[in-house]
Amino acid sequence: MRTPTELDIVIIGAGPIGLTCGIEAQKAGLSYVILDKGALVNSLYNYPATMTFFSTSEKLEIGGVPFISDNPKPRRNEALEYYRRVTGKFNLHVRLFEEVFSVQKAENRFEVQTAKGTYHARKVIISTGFYDLPALMDVPGEELPHVTHYYKDPHYYALQKVVVVGASNSSVDAALETYRKGAEVTMVVRGSAIGRRVKYWVKPDIENRIAEGSIKAHFNSCLTAIRPGEVDILTPEGLVTLENDFVLALTGYKPNFDLLRKFGVQLSPDEKLYPAYNKETMETTQAGLYLAGVVVGGMDTHLWFIENSRDHAEKIIQHIQAQDQAP
């Protein structure tokens, strides 16, 4: 028997896929709420201010609402405005800055406790993404205030000595943008080359800047220590100590695996930490608990994007409806 305060679905995460789940639930006539510990599409908000998407705008669309961009590849600010307009168009039930602390199941019902209250629901969808937790380097000095795992704007680093760790899209963008604001940039790359998934229109730029010496790069190298004013880099030629003002440790991000375990999601025992779920229904091994979006990829966060996980919402809602209609 459903209580008056019980919802059909609690959706955890107000990113593009969480919003899509809300749209599909609303279309199906199901009651729901979308909860997020941060701002609307919080992960996108935390992207660099000048960030350009790899995808074209139509691949970022949700709910059948056209995404019109002034650029061949949309920028972060355009995406923020688009998802805000979609939220308003559907009048989605979104509650922001409300962190979820626990998800407990009893007698086929879930109790979801947050920083602001308690919700009861028949189903729970976890769509928390992966951008909230950086993959740490475990290097002495990583906790110092001049070290950051998030890059927002290049002007802050103008005329400074900057070490950029990594060779992904984020690292390359930060290296190029800070260099063009007058920073003295050194990249520290664990592999032998710039990452193969770097945006095709950016990759030649960074490779040319490295080749001409405008941006220094240590390949097959890693940071071993960070101190105020300097860093140690282990290179194939030996240990190098550089003067340094800021370290941008853009080493990637990962889902909150501790939170997933706490919510009842089973993870694979290997280093990939793949969550266990049914690919046809998106339901986990705990009945009524679903996953949607990039959170399904474990540590392989590069495999899932908005465009190839939008259908997760449809799969979930169709499965819930099928269960409701079953005799």
Contact call for residues 55 and 72 (beta carbons, < 8 A) = no
Q: How many CB atoms lie within 10 A of CB 216?
A: 15
Average pLDDT over every residue of 53-59: 88
Q: What are the tokens at 156?
A: 């802050």
Contact call for residues 186 and 242 (beta carbons, < 8 A) = yes
Same domain, 239 and 282: no
What is the residue range of 310's domain? Answer: 6-133+253-325
Task: Report yes or no on 186 lying in a domain.
Answer: yes
pLDDT tens for 202-216 read 999 999 999 999 999
Residue 237 belongs to a domain with what CATH number?
A: 3.50.50.60
Tell me the torsion sign for CA atoms 97, 101, 105, 111: negative
Task: Report yes or no on 113 lying in a domain.
Answer: yes
pLDDT tens for 266-302 read 999 999 999 999 999 999 999 999 999 999 998 888 7
pLDDT of residue 1: 33
- Where a domain ends, among 228, 249, 270? 249
Same domain, 129 and 141: no
Tell me what percent of the residues of the chain surpass a pLDDT of 90: 78
pLDDT tens for 152-210 read 999 999 999 999 999 988 899 999 999 999 999 999 999 999 988 898 889 999 999 99
Residue type at 246 in one-letter notation:
F
- Phi and psi dihedrals of 317, rounded to 5? -65, -40
pLDDT of residue 199: 87
Same domain, 243 and 289: no
- Domain total of the chain: 2
